[in-house]
Structure 1
Amino acid sequence: MDDEAKHRTDTRAAIIEAAAALLGESGPGAVTTRGVAQRAGVQAPAIYRLFGDKDGLMDAVAEHVMAAFVARKAARAASAAAANTDPLDDLRTSWREQIEFGLTHPAVFRLLSDPERAPGSPAARAGREILQARVHRLAAAGLLRVPEPLAVDLIHAAGVGTVQILLATPPERRDPAMGEAMMDAVFARILPDAPSAATDSTRVLAVALRAVAPDLETLSVPERHLLIEWLDRIAVPR
């Protein structure tokens, strides 16, 4: 990297760090061009050159904060998988961390939960992939009674909705048990009952086998595809 490119990269990083600090300390209103420039030790025009406008800067800041959070989650998920910890406990911990992150970083959460922005966010996509991996561990352990994609969608929707409701409620009126109540409601939908009904047991087995079917090398590729198709039919709730 030449000196000019390094200077540009360093300047961009300094601006993002300054804006992220202001956002965390005082909210979106504190993230002004002048305030960010002063904190980062740069001239205001540098912000426009690097980010185009304030919206561009806010997008970069949200991505930066979210990426750091997702990196920590990825490390914990990898550690949990390597240690073969209880996949349900792992998912519960992840849920609580996600709710806490949304409440602690409301501006970032609102930006990245926007349907117009989320699909273009590498950090948001990475976060969903981590959730998919955690749900896959549940399925492989025989602890899931709905197809993996449906479980991922339900958990994601419930988590986003919970944070949105809590953020829309004055802090003094927020129910601290709401996150746990919503988590239990979602888990009641995606986890098998105990004891399971016969139909429920069949779905659990189908979902578990579906989780490992792509890796069954004793079957040919066409046979695996056919097996997956059959298992998907069995696993879908009716």
Structure 2
Amino acid sequence: MDSMDSSTDMNPRDRILEAVARLLTEGGREAVSTRAVSSAASVQIPTIYRQFGDMQGLLEAVTSQGYATYLASHLKGETDENPVEDLRRGWDVNVDFGLANPALYTLMYGNPRLGAPHPTAVKLQDVLLDRVRRVAESGRLSVSIERAADMLYAAGAGVVLVLIAQGGASHDRTLSVATREAVLAAITTDPHTESAHAPSPRSDATRYAVALKASLSQDARPFTTAERALFDEWLTRFIDTKL
């Protein structure tokens, strides 16, 4: 063991990750260098390379921890009976996490990963898709599940990165609320206001098609695999032509 490593009982890997998280919080990505990490974690520089290979490997490990913490925050709390409210809550969790951890969030979402997405990021996307699917099954989704999830993801990450650039937690969050409601208005329908807004038969048909497709993805027992695939293709084509 390196002589510097004996200063604490915590294993070197955990000390290094903890040090990087602290440096990110205090000074952003620019504060994370091998020398700074070595000093903050009380390890010698070769220990960092033995544990993580290089700086990119170290940042990947920190990003993995960030995704895991972020996923846990999304899984807290009970599911709301109103699936649209669940989308609102998920949006707000995203904003709160990003503004509480600006450097980490920027590391996670400000530098898109080329190729295969991070495994935990895939789990987060599955959580979002499940929430959007509940809206579809309730008959309130006016676009495809995949399109709605992409819109929420893109707008949510974009808002947080803009707020971080504009001052983070100290900035007025009305931008987040306004963007959230604009996206929800674009992808959902409100059954309490439909009569006032008099939706067209086309928007109704799209909403019903989305709901039917979502239901079939959960239970398609009356159909064979081939019939289900064909029905899914027809519904997808119909929905896409209405977007």
Answer whether TM exceeds 0.5 for this pair.
Answer: yes
Is 2:100 the counterpart of 1:99? no
TM-score (norm 1): 0.84
The alpha carbon displacement at 1:38 in A equals: 4.0
The alpha carbon displacement at 1:132 in A equals: 0.9
The alpha carbon displacement at 1:18 in A equals: 2.5
**Distance in structure 1 (CA, Å) of the matches to 2:90 and 2:143:** 20
Number of residue pairs matched by the alignment: 225
Is 2:136 the counterpart of 1:154? no
Residues 232 and 171 of structure 1, relative CA distance in 2, 3 Å threshold: closer
The alpha carbon displacement at 1:200 in A equals: 1.0
Unaligned runs of at least 5 residues, structure 2 = 1-9
What is the letter of the counterpart of residue 190 of structure 1? I
Is 2:141 the counterpart of 1:141? no
Of stretches 165-174 and 190-199 in structure 1, the one that deviates more from structure 2 is 165-174
**Distance in structure 2 (CA, Å) of the matches to 1:140 and 1:69:** 26
Counterpart residue number, 1:6: none
The alpha carbon displacement at 1:21 in A equals: 2.6
Q: Tell me the alpha carbon deviations over residues 87-131 of structure 1, each in whole angstroms, 9 at most, x when there is no partner.
A: 111110110110122222222222222223584422222211111
The alpha carbon displacement at 1:142 in A equals: 0.9
**Distance in structure 2 (CA, Å) of the matches to 1:61 and 1:172:** 22
**Distance in structure 2 (CA, Å) of the matches to 1:133 and 1:218:** 23
Q: Tell me the alpha carbon deviations over residues 48-98 of structure 1, each in whole angstroms, 9 at most, x when there is no partner.
A: 11212223212211221221121231344xx41xxx622111110110110
Counterpart residue number, 2:17: 16
- List aligned pairs for 1:161-180, cutoff 5 A: 161-170=158-167, 174-180=171-177
Residues 111 and 141 of structure 1, relative CA distance in 2, 3 Å threshold: same
| Moved beyond 6 Å, runs of 4+ | none
The alpha carbon displacement at 1:222 in A equals: 1.5
Unaligned runs of at least 5 residues, structure 1 = 1-8
Residues 171 and 105 of structure 1, relative CA distance in 2, 3 Å threshold: closer
What is the letter of the counterpart of residue 18 of structure 2? E
What is the letter of the counterpart of residue 12 of structure 1? R
Is 2:178 the counterpart of 1:181? yes
Whether the 8 Å contact between 2:139 and 2:211 is mirrored in structure 1 is yes
The alpha carbon displacement at 1:37 in A equals: 3.2
Counterpart residue number, 2:234: 230
**Distance in structure 2 (CA, Å) of the matches to 1:222 and 1:64:** 42
Counterpart residue number, 1:112: 108
Of stretches 158-167 and 116-125 in structure 1, the one that deviates more from structure 2 is 116-125
The percent identity for this pair of structures is 36
Whether the 8 Å contact between 2:99 and 2:168 is mirrored in structure 1 is no
RMSD of Structure 2 on Structure 1 (CA): 2.4
